[in-house]
Amino acid sequence: MADGAYLNGGAMLILETITQVLTVVFISPLIAGIYENLKSKIELRKGPSIIQPYYDIFKYLKKETIAPYNSGYIFIYGPYIVFSILILISFIIPVVIPEPIYFTASADFLGGALLFSLASFIKVLSSMDSGSNYSAMGAARASSFTYLGEATLITVFFAVAFITKTDNPYVTNHYLVMHPFSYLTLLHIFASVAFFMIFLFETGRIPVESEGLMELGMIDGALNYEYSGKLLAINKWSGYIKNYLLGSVLLNVFIFPWFMFSGGLFILDVPIMILKWFLLMLILLFIETTLSKLRLYKVQDFLATAFTLSIAFLIVSVI
């Protein structure tokens, strides 16, 4: 009987693991498509279909990959490494399922933050390996900004550890669900606001245009400038996954940790996550359509504010 229960539990854990990882990989482009469609509706434009990101990925996958003459192995294999790192992160943090899945114990919040930093570093290194001056300009911009963003990301996760006495993201989710008063503490509020500001920067919502036609404001777009074919498809897909991971951590750990299920009801987590994302998209649309983009040299001020808020939790916790 015990063996049967163990086998049932093991099979459930496998299903939960598969569900979480496949949701991250295949739903992340849909989230991006829904957002762009909603944004176009607000701006009174027809806009792209919600499945446009899937179409773009498959279109690039079918095209020939052309590498610059001076590029090396890092340029070729960097996108695959970044994609693999982001998939690993999807095992570690509660982006769909509220209970630990397979390989969750391989890292914690701090490990996840370091993996995000590693993925960003490899992406910058890969773009510089192309030998393109424009890509080098984008890499310089990314390096000059992300040192504050990544420092804030790591510090915010320390703030969460102060609240729950652990840096396990699943424990944090359960703790906030069971102790709603901790959700309203200054410690949690400072950490949530700082993480939200980092999420806005990392996804290019505000204060800069990470993607688009404004070359003087592009960061992530400049890093992808020399890529084509399959490598561009992988880079685009990695961007969707990264946005989904950061947004889901923001939702499930900081803003809205409730209504997540495990066991026999775990399949409900997928539509629930889409609904949570819909609420987050409404907030993002309000910010993006009502606030003007800041000039490029003001980005460090924005990130410095986020970093200051993340440090403020140390003062609050000591006092």
| pLDDT, tens digit, 9 for 90 and up, residues 75-116 | 899 999 999 999 999 888 888 887 777 777 666 777 778 888
Between 238 and 171, the more confident residue is 238
| Confidence at residue 12, expressed as pLDDT on a 0 to 100 scale | 79
96: Cα within 13 Å, side-chain hemisphere: 28
**Residue 237's pLDDT is what?**
94
User: Which percentage of the chain shows pLDDT scores above 90?
Assistant: 20
Residue 54 burial (C-beta neighbours within 10 Å; 0-12, 13-18, 19+): middle
Q: How far, in Å, CA of 274 to CA of 28, rounded?
A: 10
Q: For position 7, what pLDDT does the model report?
A: 43
| pTM across the whole model | 0.86
**Counting beta carbons within 10 angstroms of the beta carbon of residue 203, is it exposed (0 to 12), middle (13 to 18) or buried (19 or more)?**
buried
How far is residue 98's CA from residue 85's CA, in Å, rounded to a whole number? 21
pLDDT digits 0-9 by tens, 36-88: 899 888 878 887 889 999 999 999 999 988 888 878 888 899 999 999 999 99
Whether the CB-CB separation of 227 and 83 falls below 8 Å is answered with no
Q: How would residue 295 be classed by pLDDT, with cut points 50, 70 and 90?
A: low
Q: Is 80 exceeded by the pLDDT of residue 244?
A: yes
Q: What's the pLDDT band for 3 if we cut at 50, 70, 90?
A: very low
Task: Return the HEC string of 119-171.
Answer: HHHHHHHHHHCCCCHHHHHHHHHHHHHHHHHHHHHHHHHHHHHHHHCCCCHHH
Place of tokens 């693991």: 17
